[in-house]
Structure 1
Amino acid sequence: MTSADTGIRRVRTLAGDPAWLVTRYDDVKALLADQRLGRSHPDPTHAPRVSGSAIFGGPTGADPAAEDVDRVRMRRLLAPVFSARRMAALRPRIETIVDELLDAMFARTPPVDLHEAVSFPLPALVISELLGVPYADRDDFRRWSDDAANLVDPDRAELGLFSLWQYMRGLVEAKRAQPADDVLSLLLTTPHEGTVMGPDEAAMLGAGLLFAGHETTVTAIDGGVLRLLTNPDQRAALAADPALLAPAVEEILRCALPPPRDDDEQRTGLMRYAREAIEFDGAQIVAGELVLLGLRTANQDTVYFPDPARFDITRMPNPHLSFGFGPRFCLGAPLARLELRALFAALLHRPDLRLAVPPEELRPRRDILTGGLQTLPVTWSN
C-alpha cells in the first residue's frame, strides 16, 4: 500500500456486518488514541460484530464510562506486574525455561513439531507462573482458549469463554482462601479507591490475561522461526551479529499479525465502536458504527516501512503498531519481547534448524483469532 491509497472505506466483516476499515499508518495510529472510539456499544445485542469469536468479536459492554473506569483500574493494578523491574527479575526464569524446552526438543529424534515443543509451552509456562495457574491444566485452558477465539462458530466460542471463566473462578476462590505471590492474588487483595476486585470480575480478567498471555506469543514464535528459516540471509546476519537480536524481534513482531482469511484484507482489524459522530478523512462515521483499525496494513505502509513485504532484521526504526498505541497500548508487550529475545538468543547457540517440510505444506490456523500454524515441523543435523 502507499500513502496515496484510500485510508478509510466501507467493508463487510467476517460476521457479515458493515464496518469502516482504516488502513494507513498515520490514520490507524491517530484513531488508536482517539477517545471517541471504544470497545463498548449502547446496544450490545444488536451491535455489528467482527466475527463469531467471544474474544474481540463484539462489544464488551454498554457503558463507555464504565469501560473507561475499568480500563484505568486494570492498568493501574497490572502496571507493576509488567514493569521493567519485574521483567528483569523474570529474565533468568524465562531463560531457564527456554533452555529446558530446547534441551528436550534437541534430545529427540527429528523431525519435531516446534509448535508443540517450544512455541506453545514457552508462553504458556511463563503466563501460568505469573498468574498462578497450574501448568498441568494447560491442555484444558489451551482448548478453551482456542474455542473462545473461534471466528466462525459463536456457540463454540461462547462455551469456550464460559469454560475458561469457570475454570478461573475456581482458581480465584482458592486464591481468596490462600493468597500467593501471583497476579490472581494481586487482583483480589489490592484495593482500588477503597475496594478490591470481586471474584467474578477477577476471574474474567484472569481469563483474558491467560488467553492474551500465551496465544499471541505462540503465533509470534511460529512466525519468527518460519521467517528466519525461509530467509537464510537474515538468519546468517543474526548469527554473525547478535546485536541484531532486538531489531530482529521487532521485525518478527511487525510481521506477526495473522493474515486475513482467504486473503480478504477487508475482514481484518482491531475493533472499535464510535461513541459519537466522527468526521474522519472525508468519511462520516455515525455513532455506534464499527471501525476496524488495520494494524496489519499499517505495519506495511511504505511511508514508514520501505519494501514492507521483505523480512528485514536490520529495519530501523521499526515503529510497528502490533501492540497498539495510546491509552490501550498492550501492557504485556515487555513480557512478549522478553520471551522472544530469550528464545531467539538461545537458538543462536543450538544446531541449525531447517524446515522438515516445504513451506507451502504448512497449514495456518484460519479459524482462530490469533492465527498461527497448526504445526511447524523442523529438523537438524546431529
Structure 2
Amino acid sequence: MTLETSAAGCPIDHRTIRRITTAMGHEGWLVSEYDHVRKLFSDPKLGRAHPAPETAARVAESTFFGGPMGDFATEHAEHERMRGILQPHFAPSKMRAFRGRVEEIASGLFDTMAEQGSPADLYGAVAARLPLMAIGELLGVPVGERDGLRGWTDAMAVATDGLKAATAAGEMLKYCLTLVVRKRADPADDVLSRLCEREDLTDSGAAMLAMVMLFAGHETSVVQIGMGAMHLLRDREQWQMLVDRPELVAGATEELLRVPNAVGLPRYAREDFKVDGVEIGAGELVVLDLTAANHDAAVFQDPDRIDIARKEAAHLTFGYGVRYCVGAPLARVELQAVYSQLVSRFPTMRLAVDPADVRMREDRFTGGVAELPVIW
C-alpha cells in the first residue's frame, strides 16, 4: 500500500487515519492506532460487505481477505447467527479438552522431523501440517483426505490471481458439500456431524461453514506458527529464556502472535462517519492495520522488541469484541503445543540460514514463511 500525496508531493497524514492506494490501485483509508483499530472492530458502521461489491475497492485478489464478503443487507445479523452456531464448538473449555490430541499430533510431527535428522525445514515438517490435521480432526475430515486440502487452502490465499483463488474455493466447496452428504448419512462425533443435525442449516450452508473453518482454521495458524518460530529462533536471549522457563509458553505465544507482521483487514463504511476527526464516506474501504496497532508505542513499551514475559495490553491479532476470532482458542492450543515441544525437544535448535535469507510467501495475502531451515 502507498500513501496518498498532496499536490506538493507530501504524504497526507490525518493523525493515525491515512489515505492509501492499495496494491490493486484502489483508494482507501488506513487505520493504524491501537485504540482506533480495537474500537472499529466492533463498530457497526463498518463491515465486510459492500452494497456494490463488483465496484468496491480491494486490497488484493485473495478470495477471503482481498475485498468485500457477504450480503450488505443482512451482514450483521448473519454474522451474529454464524457466531452463535460456531462458537460453542470452539469454546475454551472444548479446546482444553482437545489439547491432548493436538499435543499428540505435534509430537508425531516432531518425531518424524527428528528421525529425518538435522538440517530440516521446520515450516514444512510442522507448521504447514499441524493446523490442517487439527481442524480436519475436529470437523471430521477423513485422515486420508486431509493432506489433499492443502492445495486448495494455499491457492485460496494467493493475493495476485483472483481466478486461481476463486477456482480453488469452488473446488473446496464442492468437496465440503460431498462431506456434508456423507455426514448426514453416517454421522460421527465431530463438529460437522453436529452442524448437520441443525434444522436451520442447509447442506450448502453447512458446506460453506466447513470450508471457511478449514481455510481460516488452517491458513492463519500456519502463518503464525511459522512466523512465531522464526522470530523466537533468531532472538537467542528469548529462546533461551523459554528453554529455561517453559512455564512461560502461554505468554510467549501471545507475544509471538503480537510481533510478526499481521494482515491488514479490509472493511467498508456502511454509512458516513468520522474517526479521529477524519470523515469517511459510505462505501469507502477502511483497512485495519494490525501490524501498526500491535506495535503502537503508546500501548507497548519498546514495541519492536520480543519479550515473552510482557504483561502489557492484549494484541489485536485475533480481532476484538464481536469480531474476535472464533477459532482463537484452537490457535492458542496449537501454538502452545508447538512452542513448548520445540524448546523441550530441540533446545539447541538454530536457524540454518541468516534470518534475512529466510524465504517468505510473497504471493500470499496472509504472508508468512515459505521455508524455515533449522539445525540442532
Match of 1:27 in 2: 36
1:317 is aligned to 2:326:
no
Matches within 5 A, 1:134-283: 134-190=142-198, 195-258=199-262, 269-283=264-278
Q: TM-score, normalised by structure 1?
A: 0.91
Native 8 Å contact 2:232 2:256 kept in 1:
no
Q: Distance in 2 between matches of 1:377 and 1:135?
A: 27
1:88-130 Cα distance to aligned partner (Å, 9 max, x none):
2101111111111111111112211111111111111100000
Runs (5+) with no aligned partner, structure 2: 1-12
Q: Figure out how many residues of one structure are paired with residues of the other and give that number.
A: 363
Q: Distance in 1 between matches of 2:96 and 2:313?
A: 23
**AA partner of residue 229 (structure 1):** L
**AA partner of residue 270 (structure 2):** R
The offset of 1:140, in angstroms, is 3.0
The offset of 1:5, in angstroms, is 8.0
Match of 1:350 in 2: 345
- Higher mean C-alpha deviation, range 270-279 or range 70-79: 70-79
Match of 1:263 in 2: none
**AA partner of residue 157 (structure 2):** A
Native 8 Å contact 2:223 2:367 kept in 1:
yes
Q: Distance in 2 between matches of 1:287 and 1:318?
A: 32
1:332-362 Cα distance to aligned partner (Å, 9 max, x none):
1111111111221122321321112222221
SS of equivalent to 2:89: coil
Matches within 5 A, 1:57-136: 57-64=66-73, 66-136=74-144
SS of equivalent to 2:206: helix
1:377 is aligned to 2:369:
no
**AA partner of residue 62 (structure 1):** D
Q: Distance in 2 between matches of 1:61 and 1:100?
A: 39
The offset of 1:8, in angstroms, is 0.3
SS of equivalent to 1:187: helix
Q: Distance in 1 between matches of 2:338 and 2:285?
A: 38
**AA partner of residue 370 (structure 2):** Q
Native 8 Å contact 1:277 1:287 kept in 2:
yes
Runs (5+) with no aligned partner, structure 1: 259-267
Match of 2:62 in 1: 53
CA pair 83-241 structure 1, distance change in 2 beyond 3 A: same
Match of 2:5 in 1: none
SS of equivalent to 2:169: helix
The offset of 1:251, in angstroms, is 0.5
2:360 maps to which of 357, 361, 364: 364
**AA partner of residue 304 (structure 2):** A
SS of equivalent to 2:88: coil
SS of equivalent to 1:371: coil
Q: Distance in 2 between matches of 1:125 and 1:140?
A: 11
